[in-house]
Amino acid sequence: MDGTQRVVLILADISGYTRFMLANTTAVVHAQMVITKLLEEIIREAEIPLEVKEVEGDAVFLYVIRPDDDAAWEETRRLIGRKLVGFFEAFARGILAGSEFALCSCPSCTSVDQLKLKIVVHSGEAVFHKVGRFSDLSGVDVILAHRLLKNSVPSDEYVLMTESAHRDIEFETGVEVRKGEEYYEGFGAIPTYTYLIGNGSAPKSEAVERLYRDRGRAFALGLRMLAKGYFGQLQILLDPRARGTYGNLGELSVRPLARAAMALRVILLSPLLIPVGAGVQAYRALFRSTLSDRRRRA
């Protein structure tokens, strides 16, 4: 598909990502694993006609091509509204699982619940074209959508929409938006509408209660988090494309020997650490050892 299309552009960005990435090698790798898990939750929530363009570090770039049929467009507008809210719900589920069944006690694993989600949306036109084997979209509106990530909204959890995006999205009743304005060089003043989520990512007490209600299911989730954690470490540490793929890993991306040493340590200690980790997850599930309880004891 080439040529100019009318589109809704969506960027779902993880707030607090820079603060989350720490100098300690183990913490940095675990931080990347957590970020990857949360981005996967967002991507899993997307469905046609929402298309994932790419993952950009700590953000997911999605788009929706506006259909020509008016009836189809009305349904699409409602779907976009539902999905924008759904992204926060999916993110919250990832935060809950990551915080309750943390892989270890490093700063990254114990600070998962400090991460937040912000979404910017802009409607306009994009040029679809091929670059070798790859599809790309570009244009002034694509640039503006990315510029919107730097804004003056005094919150870490929100949906920021341009005026055109606000017209193209139909939220369910009860969603209140605030009118504002952002200024960008080359674009001038941009009228905006902001939907503030209000602590939507923090694990709620009722969600924690539901998680531990079925101890067997909670233990199974803990085991999945454990397996993804250990094997996720190796995928990051042994990836020869680490500099390009994990460009936000700070000093880790330029220290291949540090990555190799940590990978060897993980492999050698796995026969011990995996059973111990499984025991820890079983204890958490059986005795309902929640994150808040562990923090109180600490």
Domain span at residue 263 reads 213-293
How many helices (H) does the chain have, and how many strands (E)?
10, 8
**Cβ atoms within 10 Å, residue 154:** 8
**Which of 196, 226, 241 is the C-terminal boundary of a domain?**
196
Dig out the tokens for 273 from the structure. 């650490």
Query: Which token pair is 179?
Result: 């009118």
Do 184 and 217 lie in a common domain?
no
Residues 97 and 60 in one domain: yes
Tell me: the pLDDT tens digits for 269-297?
889 989 999 999 999 999 888 888 888 88
**What are the pLDDT digits (tens) for 210-226?**
999 999 999 999 999 99
Which of 139, 164, 196 delimits the end of a domain?
196
Question: Domain containing 12 — which CATH number?
Answer: 3.30.70.1230
Residue 22 confidence class, pLDDT cut points 50, 70, 90? low
Q: H or E stretch including 196? A: strand 188-196
CA distance 9 to 27: 33
**Same domain membership, residue 137 and residue 178:** yes
Q: Are strands 158-162 and 116-131 parallel, antiparallel or unpaired?
A: parallel
Whole-angstrom CA distances from 222 to 13, 38, 63, 245 are 26, 16, 33, 27
Alpha helices in 66-214 (DSSP H): 70-100, 140-147, 163-168, 205-213
Residue 189 has pLDDT above 70, yes or no: yes
Number of domains in the chain: 2
What's the pTM? 0.89
Tell me the pLDDT band of 80, cut-offs 50, 70 and 90. Answer: very high
Q: Which residues contact 265 (CB under 8 A, 6 or more apart)?
A: none
Residue indicated by tokens 């802009």: 122
